[in-house]
Amino acid sequence: MEGLVPLLPILGVFLVFWLLVVRPGVRRERERRAMQSALAVGDRVILTSGFYGTIASIHDDRADIELAPGTTVTVALGAVAGPQPAAESVPDLHKTNDPEASTTTPESEES
């Protein structure tokens, strides 16, 4: 019994390390995998690079993301950070109410 007493602080450090580092990391990985398996075509997502887009198609370990109408990129599923935040915070580039908003030119702004 007296031989185990010096090992208690070391065991305590390992226990604290496991509780504070390993366990939360495993939980985050499990949540990330669940989120990625729940992705479907048409979902609005944010990528880890900061781009917002819509899922156009999903393959085994990658997805085609439409960033703007006619602009599609293929990314690894790991690059999908999650679903898009609240709709009010990010404008939907696919729906434009004002057709002249995207057709302004520097010459027309100078007048």
- Which sequence spans correspond to the domains of the chain? 1-38, 40-91
Residue 50 backbone phi and psi in degrees, to 5: 100, -5
Domain 40-91: which topology?
SH3 type barrels. (2.30.30)
pLDDT of residue 1 exceeding 80: no
98-107 pLDDT tens trace: 555 555 555 5
| pLDDT confidence tier of residue 62, bands split at 50, 70 and 90 | very high
Q: What is the pTM of this model?
A: 0.59
pLDDT at 97: 59
